[in-house]
Amino acid sequence: MPRPARAATLATLTVAVLAAGTALTAPAGAAPEKTAPRSAAPRFLAASELPPHPWSAWTAGPVADGFPVELAFCLGEGVPAYDYRHRVFHTELDTGAVQVTVVTGSAAKGKALAALLDEEIRGCAARIERTDPDTEAEGRYYGSLPVEEGAEVHGLHTETSWGATDVHLLSVGRDGRTVTVVGWGQMGDFGDAPVSAFKKTTRKAVEKLY
């Protein structure tokens, strides 16, 4: 299925999550948590550092402000208000990826945020099924990586009642007060997910935080 069709599937999941009360920004009037100056912003992944696609090269979008809507299906109202930055990647086929990073005010806050994001990802499948009865979801845990303060790697498979099936890989990593989330997704199931390559991507993402 071409990339626009896959985007429509992800949009359906996003709408379902948002309809259930999920928001990607702070409530009206709420101030974001203190973050580091923009000059201290960490580096992002390059397209060449993503899991290789067998038939298409990756293209990296610009680094932009805000929390990416591409992760709304799994991370929403449980995400605290911070000055997030993100980069979206795509291929010419059905595979996409995204990275979001944030520099919190301290190592303690970074640790707490990474733990919260990991917990949200662990509960993602259950929330999807609760908010969208037309979608079945299953999560898997692929272990931790010994890089900087550590990274956790997860998988998610979704299948709709009309037959659309997608697989995602998600990871949360931290270096001191800086936290990153990396997401990868395409049509298919767990057998189509490049777990080993994604772990290498996650390791590189955490190594580049500072």
Q: What is the pLDDT of residue 110?
A: 97
Please tell me the number of Cα atoms within 13 Å of 42 on its side-chain side.
Answer: 31
Number of helices and strands (H, E) in the chain?
4, 8
Residue spans of the chain under pLDDT 70: 1-41
DSSP state at residue 198: H
* CA distances in angstroms from 92 to 53, 54, 95, listed in the order given: 10, 11, 8
Asked whether the beta carbons of 92 and 186 are under 8 A apart, the reply is no
CATH pick for 3-23+42-207 out of 3.30.2320, 3.40.1000, 3.40.50, 3.30.1330: 3.40.1000
Q: What is the pLDDT of residue 177?
A: 96
The DSSP string of 22-69 is --SSPPTTPPPPP---GGGPPP---GGGSPPPSS---EE---EES--G
Phi-psi region of 155 (alpha: psi -120 to 50; beta: other; left: phi over 0): beta
One-letter amino acid of 134: D
